[in-house]
Structure 1
Amino acid sequence: MISLDKYSFGFGDRFSLHGEAFIQALKKANDSGLKITPVWNKSFRGYSFVGDDAATVKEKVDKLMLKHTWCKQYLIDADHIKYDNVSEFIDACDYFTIDVSGYIRKLAHYDEMDSFIKANQKYIGRMNVPGMSETFQVFENMITSFAGMYLLAAQKAGEVYQLIKKRKGHKNFITEISMDEVHYSHSPLELFFILNALAYYDVDFQLISPKFIGRFNKNVEYAGETQKFKAELEMYLKMINFAVDEFSLNPNLKLSIHSGSDKFAIYPIIKDVIQKFDAGIHIKTSGIGWLDSIMYLAKLEGEAYDFVKEIYITSYEDFSELVTPYDKVVDINKSKLPTPEEINKLNGAQFKAALDNNPDNKDYNPTLRQFISCAYKTAACQKEKYERLVNENLGMINKQIEENLFDRHFSQIYPASN
């Protein structure tokens, strides 16, 4: 059976142009004692926006790894897939992020609910979790409530998992269960019953992505109290260790954090906590190459910056269409975006400064950065021109991405391997 290595990192590459940057950053990490397994992740939405497909991405990644004689594990993730689109990814992918967030707080059939509640009567009373000072008091109405919130989601995860298993064989893929795209974080006790429900439907999964406290908006800093995040991360890890034994879950089960990229305030916390618990972690990112490319093209002025301005103005006019699909992972107030008239008055260096994730720079505009992270669909409408401009400057752009990944992500998140 495929087992995911202890530390792994999900690369979101909108246009599949920056594999060289990723592999160079991974090599630098490896030379520094950081053992990180790469996972190429792209969602059904991402593929449909860009006009790409999983088979093409797999072919590109396979060629890249062969070129660089990468002999270690690497995976292709069908990210945020559901039952109605998973078939498009089964042949090409070996990692499946099953997104069931949309089924949370929707009721399973009465008979399913009743059976699950009866099967969990033994947990009524006081629950002690090893390593936790807090004792959980479980009442029957709480089990009923958790079943109402999460049982249908677990059932739907099971349906997708069984479909993949039937097609690929259960030893040939890795499963992640995603429940993070909701507006509220999951308590440790909720996580226990989520894991319970997934076991109830015989889902063999190696990763779980609950909704953490705070906001993980795309490509900007973590929004929340970092110490509360740390406390929750530690409780999740303790609860996972308890649930693995309690429900005979996959012993490699670990957390997946859908970071949205650039959560620099909590990266050192993640590193400290996973060292403390000797735990694995998967960090999923999005759009690093896309944003670095746009910043570099803006800096060039001329045709390149004219194209960037065109992308921005068109996206501004299509604001709702672009932002709505990401409403749970962005906080964008249109009034805080520059108008097209204001954009036309900025030179390329000023636009780059507004987009670059540097809170110490008075010109930095995190609303703009989030908005541009959603605007790749607009560039995809002129894909040939965008890719030409990027490819003409690919060496320098990739160098920027490589440094960003190693200096600001890898070295901040992962402990050196023993």
Structure 2
Amino acid sequence: MSDGLKLPKFSVGTGDRFAHQAKAQLTACILAADAGVEVVPVWNKSNREHMIIGSEPSATRAAADAAVKELGWTKPYFLDADHINLKTVGRFLDPCDFFTLDVADLIGQPAKDEDVTAFLSAHPELVGTVTIPHVDEPFKTDKAFVEGVAHKFLAAVKHAGEIYRLLLENKGAGRFVPEISMDETDYPQTPVELLIILAMIADEKIPIQTIAPKFTGRFNKGVDYVGDVAQFTKEFNEDLAAIQYAISKYGLPDNLKLSVHSGSDKFSIYKAIYEGAKRFNMGVHLKTAGTTWLEELIGLAEAGGSGLEIAKEVYAEAFAHSAELCAPYATVIDIDPAKLPTPEEVNGWTSEQYTSALRHDQSNPAYNQSFRQLLHVGFKVAAKMGRKYLDALEANEEIVAKNVTTNLFERHIKPVFLGL
């Protein structure tokens, strides 16, 4: 089903809010290649982030291309139009070659009865006992269950089909990588639901190369996984089995893989992801998004002087506007206001106190995940600073870049793709 542009087996989604860290991020992928594994970068920035910062996707493309040229990267790389829909896709058409079709908002919107009936009659194999290789217990379904899943997800998948066909018309077949994202919704999809969804996607003739379901547990921004690791491991393996089965059964692309959104810093499940991918010999797309921006703040704080002053100023403003900053991310953050230091307290901190509170080192008693999450969503504050913030990044480029590279390679790439 898929010809043309192909996403390699392992890829990492790297957010770069201010388009200044492409080189530092790419350096982490070069370190991975030196360690014996190909992990290709997918630079991603959503429409919401472009709107907040006042940037254009073309600037993200320019930064990625410049880093690739400067560092002599000859492997593939991609630019993701992150979380787009029919209303927002326009500005991404030219610069992007990876499109995350976000249909989470349509999940639960009732599908047309005739569409549900047509789906059920086309897929009798999904009703009853569905035996899948490498799954201990066969999936047991009945007509009412499959019908319920169709009513819940079919309208969303059909919308993804509309976006895909628009992309096809504008970009041409084989000239972009499609991903479907269903993670920003209230309830996780079970592995059997994922299989039924994959059948719908195949019916829509969308040659997806990655799919981002919502997994069990909480995937809060920039902090560790909250949930039952054993349950996640079981579901992740069953999801991989469902994908492998759907590839052979429905003719989906043979490089189709799971995408773990808000995957940054989910340290407690990285072993499960690595082992699952290895067991099934399948790829993984890990999306790290906003951690780069936090590493910029850590680098500025570490630099001391005016860098530390800017890091403190960002926190004071984020603290003052926390309700407004947190609102768009309410489903993916858990901040305890009682654990947030006052700006007055932070103003008295040394570089080490600031970086200890912010850097994701759970062995450090000073690490503060409420502080970290508030700053994670506080990039709007730095955006409002304009040149003041960007000048600070440029003045402290070396120390900032070191933090960005170390974070991406040591804390993410090594455990997920090298099992280290």
User: Contact (CA 8 Å) 2:84, 2:102: kept in 1 or not?
Assistant: yes
State yes or no: 1:24 paired with 2:27.
Answer: yes
- Alignment partner of 1:327: what SS? helix
Structure 1 residue identity aligned to 2:136: S
State yes or no: 1:269 paired with 2:272.
Answer: yes
Q: State the match for 1:200 in structure 2.
A: 203
1:356 alignment partner, one of 355, 359, 375: 359
What's the C-alpha RMSD, in Å, of the aligned pairs?
Answer: 1.6
1:310 alignment partner, one of 313, 320, 323: 313
Aligned partners of 1:264, 1:334: CA distance in 2, in Å?
24
Deviation for aligned residue 1:48: 1.2
User: Contact (CA 8 Å) 2:20, 2:63: kept in 1 or not?
Assistant: no
Identity %: 37
Q: State the match for 1:67 in structure 2.
A: 70
Q: State the match for 1:13 in structure 2.
A: 16
Aligned partners of 2:145, 2:283: CA distance in 1, in Å?
30
- Distance 1:334-1:130 versus aligned 2 partners, 3 A rule: same
Aligned partners of 1:71, 1:89: CA distance in 2, in Å?
24
Q: Structure 2 length normalisation: TM-score?
A: 0.95
User: Contact (CA 8 Å) 1:268, 1:412: kept in 2 or not?
Assistant: yes
- Alignment partner of 1:381: what SS? helix
Q: Structure 1 length normalisation: TM-score?
A: 0.96
Aligned partners of 1:120, 1:289: CA distance in 2, in Å?
44
Aligned partners of 1:23, 1:146: CA distance in 2, in Å?
40
State yes or no: 1:282 paired with 2:285.
Answer: yes
Deviation for aligned residue 1:123: 2.8
Deviation for aligned residue 1:267: 1.5
Counterparts of 1:369-408 in structure 2, within 5 Å, are 369-408=372-411
* Equivalences, count: 416
Q: State the match for 2:126 in structure 1.
A: 123
Aligned partners of 1:310, 1:415: CA distance in 2, in Å?
38
Deviation for aligned residue 1:51: 1.4
Counterparts of 1:323-334 in structure 2, within 5 Å, are 323-334=326-337
Q: State the match for 1:138 in structure 2.
A: 141
- Alignment partner of 2:115: what SS? helix
Deviation for aligned residue 1:122: 4.3
Aligned partners of 1:283, 1:376: CA distance in 2, in Å?
21
Aligned partners of 1:66, 1:340: CA distance in 2, in Å?
42
For residues 212-258 of structure 1, what are the alpha-carbon distances to aligned partners after superposition, in whole Å with 9 as ceiling and x for unaligned? 11111111111122222111111001111111122111111111111
Aligned partners of 1:68, 1:296: CA distance in 2, in Å?
22
Aligned partners of 1:232, 1:125: CA distance in 2, in Å?
20
State yes or no: 1:169 paired with 2:172.
Answer: yes
Aligned partners of 1:269, 1:116: CA distance in 2, in Å?
34
2:295 alignment partner, one of 292, 303, 311: 292
User: Contact (CA 8 Å) 1:120, 1:143: kept in 2 or not?
Assistant: no
Q: State the match for 1:36 in structure 2.
A: 39
Aligned partners of 1:227, 1:143: CA distance in 2, in Å?
27
- Alignment partner of 1:59: what SS? helix
Deviation for aligned residue 1:407: 1.7
Deviation for aligned residue 1:360: 1.7
Aligned partners of 1:290, 1:50: CA distance in 2, in Å?
13
Aligned partners of 1:300, 1:70: CA distance in 2, in Å?
29
Aligned partners of 1:35, 1:108: CA distance in 2, in Å?
41
User: Contact (CA 8 Å) 1:78, 1:89: kept in 2 or not?
Assistant: yes
Aligned partners of 1:370, 1:335: CA distance in 2, in Å?
14
Deviation for aligned residue 1:119: 2.7
Q: State the match for 2:59 in structure 1.
A: 56
Structure 1 residue identity aligned to 2:95: A
User: Contact (CA 8 Å) 1:275, 1:415: kept in 2 or not?
Assistant: no
Gaps of at least 5 residues in structure 2 are none
- Alignment partner of 1:97: what SS? strand
Q: State the match for 1:342 in structure 2.
A: 345
Q: State the match for 1:410 in structure 2.
A: 413
For residues 384-406 of structure 1, what are the alpha-carbon distances to aligned partners after superposition, in whole Å with 9 as ceiling and x for unaligned? 10111111111111112212222
State yes or no: 1:180 paired with 2:209.
Answer: no
Deviation for aligned residue 1:373: 0.5
